Amino acid sequence: MTNPTPESLICVGAIAGSFGVQGEVRIKSFCAQPEAIAAYSPLYTEDGTRSFTLRLTRQVTGGFGARMSGIATKEEADALKGTSLYALRDKMPNLPDDEFYHADLIGLDVFDTGGAAMGRVTAVHNHGAGDLLEIAGTGRGDSVLIPFTLQAVPTVDLGSRRIIVDPPAED
């Protein structure tokens, strides 16, 4: 099989480090149902050059202990710390109309409710209080963050690769 393309991958988790001395890893799952990460195996590195089958072994603080194919020692597990894990898009469930994968939002052109171009979504952040869209190219020099709520982002049109935002008023 050829390596998957970045467009065919969705980030579903990350390796937080090793767990024990037998090559187990600690996994942080980004899935709505955290344990579902194992169902999306094989999981790939961001560039798609490495793949791993994943078997969850136990729940641990902040995630899961897991066995990954090809990882047999603590040193091999430690070397993967910080590695993001990606699943093939076609293995992922279809989302309702009002939900989106972060990967689908990044790169969309952003317009305000009056039709003026604001920039492009460069990242989606979540620091615990909900998703924030990072928008660059707004003419302000720095990126701006817009809460990803129905009030602030009334329209997401994946077909035309654009979103409409109604940013909160500045004080």
In this structure, the answer to whether residues 81 and 108 fall within a common structural domain is: no
Instruction: Give the tokens for residue 124.
Output: 């989606």
In this structure, the answer to whether residues 87 and 106 fall within a common structural domain is: no
Question: What pTM was estimated for this model as a whole?
Answer: 0.74
In this structure, the answer to whether residues 52 and 23 fall within a common structural domain is: yes
For 27, the domain range is 6-91
pLDDT of residue 138: 62
Rounded to the nearest 5 percent, the helix, strand and coil shares of the chain are: 15, 40, 45
Note if the bond before 42 is cis, omega within 30 degrees.
yes
In this structure, the answer to whether residues 38 and 111 fall within a common structural domain is: no
CATH value at residue 12: 2.40.30.60
Residue corresponding to tokens 């998703």? 131
In this structure, the answer to whether residues 24 and 43 fall within a common structural domain is: yes
CA distances from 127 to 1, 85, 131 (A): 37, 20, 8
pLDDT of residue 44: 93
**pLDDT string in tens for the chain (171-residue length):** 577 877 788 889 999 999 888 899 999 998 878 899 999 999 999 888 899 999 999 999 889 999 999 999 999 999 999 999 999 988 888 887 778 888 888 889 999 888 888 899 998 887 777 788 999 986 666 888 899 888 888 988 888 899 999 877 765
Count of domains forming the chain: 2
In this structure, the answer to whether residues 76 and 108 fall within a common structural domain is: no
In a domain, 134, yes or no: yes
In this structure, the answer to whether residues 38 and 108 fall within a common structural domain is: no
